[in-house]
DNA sequence: CTCTTCACG
DNA sequence: ACGTACGTGAAGAGT
C-alpha cells in the first residue's frame, strides 16, 4: 500500500456543473466567469480535503469519439454548449496550469476514458485514487482503492461512491452500474437502453441475473409478459447500450500515473488570473494576497503641524471624512503622500498652516486626488481653493469602467490591482456600530489611501490613453468636477415659508381625502400600503386586478386609471397619492435638507455613478422636482435667488436626444427636419400616418411623440403598446412606418447592436464607453435588454457629453465676462442660474450661444430659456 | 434591506 | 415563445 493519493478530475463535467449551479457572473470586460469561479471553488475544496500527491484534469477532445462508430446518435440531441460557457474553457485551462496541475485530452476519447485508464493503472499499483465528476457513470470505476466523488446540488456538496456505498444504494457492484445503464439507458447521452425499463426494474433484474448477458441467457425465468416482450424486442439495443456506457480502461494515453505529481500552485499566476476575472472574494480571503498586503511597507508619519519640507511639487492628497455627505461631515484628517513617505495630520489643523494653504492654492504644485469635487468642496469650506488638480482616481476609474461598484478608495484600488487599502467599513464599522478608530489606525488608513492614489496614477492614465479616453477624462470630467463642486457649495436658496405654507394646505386636503376614502371603503386602512389597498380594491370592493406584482396586486397609477370608471374611490386614491408624494418627498423632504446657516440646499452631484454618463443628484435629488402637473410645479416657487432683486434664469436644450440621433444616424429625413427647425413630433406624425401637416390631429402627434421616445429608448412594440395603450400589432405597425420613413435610423440601430456584439461595448460622441456583456447572452431577456441599452446609451450618453461640455464653456464664459451670475443646477438637458438683473440681457445672448456651440453636430442644437423671480417663473 | 410607487429627464 | 420601454433618487411598508 502506497501513501500516494491520485486525484483525477473530469474537467468538462465539473465546468458544466459550476456553470449551471451559479448565476452568470462577468468581469468588467464582459467575460463570463461563473464556471471558472465555481471550478476554482471545487478545486480549492477538494485539494484541501484530499491533499493529493498526484493530480490530473481530463477533458473531452472534440465532438466525435470512438463511441460514435458504435452508435451514430451517441450524445445526439444535446443542446449546444452555451457560448457563455465555451468562452470560459480557455480560462479553466489557464487556471489548471497556474495551479501546476497536469491536464490531458485525447482525440476520439472522452474524459471518462482517460480517467478510467489512469485509475486502473493506479489501482493496479495499489495507489489511492479519488475521481471527481458530475457524471454518475464514473461510479463504475469504484474499487477498494478508488473512490468516486459525484457533485450533488450546488458546487461543493459531494457524494462519495465506494463499492460499499454503491452496494448500499443500489444493491449492485460498481461494474454492474454499466449493466444498469445498458438496460435503463441515459437520456443525456442519448443512450437508448430498453424502452420502458427504468432504474427500479434494471436493478431488480441485475440482482437476479448479475449482468445483461446472463439476463438474456435466461430470459425464460423473467416474470412479467410485457417486460419479457420488451427485453426480447430490444436485445441488440441493450447490448449496444452497455457497450456505450462502458468506460474504456485501456485508452492509448501517453501519460502515466507517475508523471502526474502535484507540487502545489504557482500562487502568483493563480492570483493573476483571479485578478483578471475579478474574483474579489477569493482575492480577499487568499493568504497569498494577505501576505502580499502585509509585505507592503508604508512609511507614514503622524504630524502635529506641516513643515514646508514635506510639500513636494507632486503629491497625492486625501481628505478623510467621517461620512459621505461631505458638505456636513466632520473632517477627520488629511493624508499626503509623495510615493516614498506618507503623512497624516489630524482634523482640520492642516488648514491652519499658511504653508499648506499656499501649497494648495499653487497651480504649479500638482495634486493627485480621488474625488476632487469632494476634496475641493471641503477645502473651500475651510476657505482654501485647491488649484493644480492633476489626477482624480475616482473619475479616471469611472471613465475606464462605468460599472465601478463604489467610490471608496479601497474599492477603486482593488479594481486596479492595488490591495494595500483597507475598506472604510473595516476601519469604521457599519450601521449603528460605526465609529472613528484610534488615531494610529485612522492615520494609517488615510495614508494608505494617499499612497494608493499615488501608485495608481500611471496605471489609470495608461488605460485611459489606451482606450482613447484621456481627453474625455482630463478635459471634460476633471474640469467639470470643479464646476460641480462650486455649484454644490454655492447651493440654491429655498424659501422655507413657502414650503411650510404649502405643507399646511396639503395636510388639510389630505385629511379630507383620507376621510372620503375611508367612507367609500367602509373602513380605515393604510392607503399608503399597496398591500392593504389591494385587499380593499380587489377583494372587498371586487374590482378586477389588471396587473400583478411579485408580491400581490399592482396598484400602480396606470392600473388604477384603467379602473377609474368602475368606482369613485379610485380617483380619490390617485389624488391622495399625488398629494401625499408632494408632501412627504418634496415638502417634508426638502425642508429637512435646508441648511440652517444659509437657508440653502446643497445637493451633491454624483459624477461617477450612472452607466450612461449622466449626473445624478442626491441629498436631496434636485433633478426630479415636480413640473408636469401644476399642483406639483408650485414647489418650484420655493426655489428663489439668494440675493434680493436677483432672478432665476433657466435654459434647456430642445429635443437634444433626437438631435443626437439625427447626428449619429445621419438619416437624411431626420437631419433635414432639424435643419428646417420643424416640430419633430408633428413631422414624425406626418410620415408615420401619411398625412399633411394641417391634418395631424393631437392624438396623432401624441402617438408620434411616444414613437420618438420609443426610438430613443431602444424600440420594442410591447413597450410602445403599453405606453399608448394600444395593441402590440398596432404598435408594431407604427414602428415599421417610422423605420420606413427614417431608414437611416433603422440602419444605425442595426449597426450599433452589431458593433456592440463585436466589441462588447458602445461609445458616445466623446468616446465614453459602456460595456454590455449580456449582449451575447443566450437568455432572451438579458440579450434584449442589452440590445436596447446599446441603442439608448450612445444617445443619452452623447447628450450628457454635450451638456457637460456646455457647463465647462459656460463657467469659463461667466468668468471671462466678469459676471456675478452663478450656475446653480443641472437637470440633464437644462441649466439653472441665478443672476443680478443687470446681467440678464447679456445672459440672453451668451447662454444660448454657449450651449448651442458646445459640440458641433450635423444638425443645429436649439436652446430655449426663460427667467423670473423663482424657478417656477422660468417657463 | 427589498419591494413598490412615483417624481424627473 | 420568450416578456420590456432608457436613465435616475426618495419615501413608506413590511419582511
- Grid coordinates of A566: 368602475
The pLDDT score that the predictor gives to residue A317 is 98
Nearest nt to the A584 alpha carbon by C1':
C11
For the stretch A366-377, pLDDT in tens is 999 999 999 999
Kind and range of the H or E run holding A490: helix A478-490
pLDDT over 70 at A285, yes or no = no
Is the CB atom of residue A402 positioned under 7 angstroms from any atom of strand C?
no
The reported pLDDT for the residue numbered A515 is 96
Alpha-carbon distance of A251 to A592, in angstroms, equals 77
Quote the pLDDT of residue A22.
Answer: 77
How distant, in Å, are the alpha carbons of A55, A93, A291, A368, A797 from that of A99? 10, 10, 18, 38, 43
Confidence (pTM): 0.75
Same domain, A302 and A393: yes
Q: What is the pLDDT of residues A465-476, one digit of tens each?
A: 999 999 999 999
Residue A49 shares a structural domain with residue A190? yes
> Which structural domain range is residue A100 located in?
5-264
Can you give the distance from the CA of residue A427 to the C1' of nucleotide B6 in angstroms?
37
Nearest nt to the CA of A792 via C1' is C6
At residue A90 the predicted structure's pLDDT band, cuts being 50, 70 and 90, is confident
Residue A648 domain flag = no
A672 and A618, same domain (yes or no) = no
Q: Are residues A505 and A437 in the same domain?
A: no
Separation of A220 CA and C7 C1' (Å): 75
Domain boundary (A738, A758, A793) is at A793
Does residue A290 have a pLDDT over 50? no
Per the domain annotation, does A146 fall within a domain? yes
Q: Give residues 678-707 of chain A lying near strand C (Cβ < 7 A).
A: 706-707
The residue out of A621, A640, A659 marking a domain boundary is A640
User: In terms of pLDDT, which residue wins out, A293 or A96?
Assistant: A96
pLDDT at A294: 53
Q: Give the pLDDT score at A268.
A: 77
Separation between Cα atoms, residue A750 and residue A3, nearest integer Å: 63
Measure, in angstroms, how far nucleotide B1 C1' is from residue A432 CA. 15
Assigned domain for A112 exists? yes
What Å value separates CA A614 and C1' C8?
9
Span A128-152, pLDDT tens digits: 999 999 888 899 999 998 999 988 7
- Per-residue pLDDT reduced to its tens digit, A453-500: 999 999 999 999 999 999 999 999 999 999 999 999 999 999 999 999
pLDDT at position A88 is 84
Interacting residues of A330 by C-beta distance below 8 A, sequence separation 6+ = A321, A322
Q: Is the pLDDT of residue A581 over 60?
A: yes
Nearest to A320, CA basis, from A356, A371, A368: A371
Residue A295, pLDDT > 50, answer no
The alpha carbon of residue A122 and the mean position of all alpha carbons in its chain are separated, in whole angstroms, by 48
pLDDT tens digit string along A14-50? 888 888 877 777 776 667 888 888 888 888 888 878 8
Q: Is the pLDDT of residue A582 over 50?
A: yes
Tell me the per-residue pLDDT of A675-710, one tens digit each, with 9 for 90 and over.
999 999 999 999 999 999 999 999 999 999 999 999
A555 touches strand B (CB under 7 A): yes
Structural domain contains residue A700: yes
Nearest protein residue to the C1' atom of B5, measured from CA: A556
| Exposed / middle / buried, residue A49 (Cβ in 10 Å: 0-12, 13-18, 19+) | exposed
**Which nucleotides in chain C have some atom under 7 angstroms from a protein Cβ?**
1-14
pLDDT above 90 covers what percent of chain A? 65
Residues 811-830 of A with CB under 7 A from strand B: 827-830
Identify whether A827 is part of a domain.
no
Task: Tell me what percent of the residues of chain A surpass a pLDDT of 70.
Answer: 97
- How many other CB atoms sit within 10 Å of the CB of residue A629? 10
Q: Confidence class of residue A154 from pLDDT cuts 50, 70 and 90?
A: low
DSSP state letter for A718: H
Q: Is the CB of A218 under 7 A from strand B?
A: no
Please check whether residues A200 and A136 belong to one and the same domain.
yes
Query: Cis before residue A781, ω within 30 degrees of 0?
Result: no
CA nearest to A346, candidates A435, A444, A426: A444
Within A 595-654, residues with CB less than 7 Å from strand C = 606, 609-612, 614, 616-621, 623-624
For residue A267, what pLDDT band results from cuts at 50, 70 and 90? confident
Domain count, chain A: 4
In this structure, the answer to whether residues A686 and A623 fall within a common structural domain is: no
What pLDDT does A286 receive? 63
Residues A153, A22 within the same domain? yes
Instruction: Give the number of other Cβ atoms within 10 Å of residue A558's Cβ.
Output: 12
CATH code, domain with A764: 1.10.150.20
Amino acid at each position: 500500500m502506497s501513501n500516494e493519493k491520485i486525484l483525477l478530475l473530469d474537467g468538462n463535467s465539473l465546468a458544466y456543473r459550476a456553470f449551471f449551479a451559479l448565476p452568470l457572473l462577468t468581469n468588467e470586460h464582459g467575460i463570463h466567469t461563473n464556471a471558472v469561479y465555481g471550478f476554482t471553488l471545487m478545486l480549492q475544496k477538494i485539494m484541501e480535503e484530499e491533499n493529493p500527491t498526484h493530480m490530473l484534469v481530463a477533458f473531452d477532445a472534440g465532438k466525435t469519439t470512438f463511441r460514435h462508430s458504435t452508435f451514430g446518435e451517441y450524445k445526439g440531441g444535446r443542446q449546444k454548449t452555451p457560448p457563455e460557457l465555451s468562452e470560459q474553457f480557455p480560462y479553466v485551462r489557464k487556471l489548471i496550469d497556474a495551479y501546476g496541475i497536469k491536464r490531458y485530452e485525447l482525440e476520439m476519447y472522452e474524459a471518462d476514458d482517460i480517467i478510467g485508464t489512469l485509475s486502473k493503472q493506479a489501482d493496479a499499483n495499489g495507489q489511492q485514487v479519488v475521481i471527481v465528476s458530475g457524471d454518475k457513470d464514473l461510479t463504475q470505476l469504484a474499487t477498494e482503492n478508488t473512490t468516486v466523488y459525484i457533485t450533488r446540488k450546488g458546487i461543493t456538496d459531494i457524494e462519495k461512491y465506494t463499492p460499499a456505498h454503491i452496494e448500499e444504494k443500489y444493491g449492485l457492484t460498481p461494474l454492474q452500474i454499466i449493466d444498469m445503464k445498458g438496460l435503463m439507458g441515459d437520456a443525456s447521452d442519448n443512450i437508448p437502453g430498453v424502452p420502458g425499463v427504468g432504474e427500479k426494474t434494471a436493478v431488480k433484474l441485475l440482482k437476479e441475473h448479475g449482468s445483461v448477458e446472463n439476463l438474456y441467457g435466461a430470459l425464460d425465468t423473467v416474470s412479467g409478459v410485457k417486460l419479457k416482450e420488451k427485453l426480447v424486442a430490444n436485445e441488440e439495443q441493450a447490448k449496444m447500450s452497455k457497450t456505450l456506457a462502458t468506460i474504456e480502461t485501456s485508452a492509448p494515453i501517453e501519460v502515466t500515473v507517475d508523471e502526474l505529481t502535484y507540487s502545489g500552485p504557482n500562487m502568483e499566476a493563480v492570483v493573476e488570473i483571479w485578478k483578471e476575472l475579478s474574483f474579489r472574494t477569493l482575492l480577499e480571503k487568499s493568504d497569498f494576497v494577505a501576505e502580499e498586503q502585509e509585505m507592503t511597507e508604508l512609511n507614514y508619519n503622524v504630524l502635529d503641524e506641516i513643515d514646508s519640507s514635506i510639500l513636494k511639487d507632486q503629491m497625492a492628497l486625501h481628505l478623510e471624512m467621517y461620512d459621505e455627505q461631505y458638505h456636513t461631515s466632520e473632517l477627520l484628517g488629511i493624508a499626503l503622500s509623495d510615493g516614498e513617505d506618507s503623512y497624516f495630520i489630524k482634523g482640520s489643523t492642516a488648514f491652519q498652516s499658511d504653508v499648506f494653504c499656499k501649497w494648495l492654492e499653487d497651480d504649479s504644485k500638482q495634486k493627485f486626488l480621488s474625488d476632487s469635487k469632494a476634496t475641493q468642496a471641503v477645502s473651500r469650506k475651510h476657505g482654501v481653493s485647491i488649484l493644480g488638480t492633476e489626477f482624480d482616481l475616482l473619475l479616471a476609474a469611472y471613465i475606464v469602467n462605468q460599472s465601478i461598484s463604489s467610490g471608496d478608495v479601497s474599492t477603486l484600488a482593488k479594481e486596479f490591482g492595488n490591495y494595500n487599502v483597507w475598506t472604510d467599513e473595516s476601519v469604521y464599522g457599519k450601521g449603528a456600530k460605526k465609529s472613528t478608530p484610534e488615531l494610529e489606525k485612522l492615520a494609517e488608513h488615510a495614508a494608505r489611501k494617499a499612497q494608493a492614489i499615488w501608485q495608481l496614477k500611471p496605471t489609470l492614465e495608461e488605460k485611459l490613453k489606451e482606450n482613447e479616453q484621456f481627453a474625455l477624462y482630463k478635459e471634460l470630467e476633471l474640469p467639470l468636477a470643479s464646476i460641480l463642486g462650486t455649484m454644490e457649495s454655492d447651493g440654491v436658496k429655498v424659501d422655507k415659508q413657502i414650503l411650510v405654507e404649502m405643507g399646511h394646505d396639503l395636510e388639510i386636503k389630505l385629511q379630507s381625502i383620507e376621510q372620503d376614502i375611508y367612507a367609500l371603503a367602509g373602513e380605515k386602512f393604510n392607503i399608503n400600503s399597496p398591500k392593504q389597498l389591494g385587499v380593499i380594491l380587489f377583494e372587498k370592493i371586487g374590482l378586477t386586478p389588471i396587473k400583478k406584482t411579485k408580491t400581490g396586486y399592482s396598484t400602480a397609477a396606470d392600473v388604477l386609471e384603467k379602473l377609474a370608471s368602475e368606482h369613485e374611490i379610485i380617483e380619490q386614491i390617485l389624488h391622495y397619492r399625488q398629494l401625499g408624494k408632494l408632501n412627504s418627498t418634496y415638502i417634508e423632504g426638502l425642508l429637512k435638507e435646508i441648511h440652517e446657516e444659509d437657508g440653502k440646499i446643497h445637493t451633491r452631484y454624483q459624477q461617477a455613478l450612472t452607466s450612461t454618463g449622466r449626473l445624478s443628484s442626491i441629498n436631496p435629488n434636485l433633478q426630479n422636482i415636480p413640473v408636469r402637473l401644476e399642483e406639483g410645479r408650485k414647489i418650484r416657487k420655493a426655489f428663489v435667488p439668494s440675493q434680493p432683486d436677483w432672478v432665476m434664469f433657466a435654459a434647456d436644450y430642445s429635443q437634444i436626444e433626437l438631435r443626437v440621433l439625427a447626428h449619429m444616424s445621419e438619416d437624411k429625413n431626420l437631419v433635414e427636419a432639424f435643419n428646417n427647425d420643424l416640430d419633430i413630433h408633428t413631422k414624425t406624425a406626418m410620415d408615420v400616418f401619411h398625412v399633411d401637416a394641417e391634418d395631424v390631429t393631437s392624438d396623432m402627434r401624441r402617438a408620434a411623440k411616444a414613437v420618438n421616445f420609443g426610438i430613443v429608448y431602444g424600440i420594442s412594440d410591447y413597450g410602445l403598446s403599453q405606453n399608448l395603450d394600444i395593441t402590440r400589432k398596432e404598435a408594431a405597425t407604427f414602428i415599421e412606418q417610422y423605420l420606413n420613413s427614417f431608414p437611416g435610423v433603422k440602419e444605425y440601430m442595426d449597426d450599433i447592436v452589431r458593433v456592440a456584439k463585436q466589441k462588447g461595448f458602445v461609445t458616445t460622441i466623446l468616446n465614453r464607453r459602456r460595456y454590455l456583456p449580456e449582449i451575447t447572452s443566450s437568455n432572451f431577456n438579458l440579450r434584449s435588454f442589452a440590445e436596447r441599452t446599446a441603442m439608448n446609451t450612445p444617445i443619452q450618453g452623447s447628450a450628457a457629453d454635450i451638456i457637460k461640455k456646455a457647463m465647462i464653456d459656460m463657467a469659463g464664459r461667466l468668468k471671462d465676462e466678469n459676471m456675478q451670475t452663478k450656475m446653480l443646477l443641472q437637470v440633464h438637458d437644462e441649466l439653472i442660474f441665478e443672476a443680478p438683473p443687470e446681467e440678464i440681457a447679456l445672459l440672453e445672448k451668451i447662454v444660448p450661444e454657449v450651449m448651442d456651440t458646445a459640440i458641433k453636430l450635423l444638425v443645429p442644437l436649439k436652446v430655449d430659456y426663460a427667467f423670473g423671480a423663482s424657478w417656477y417663473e422660468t417657463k
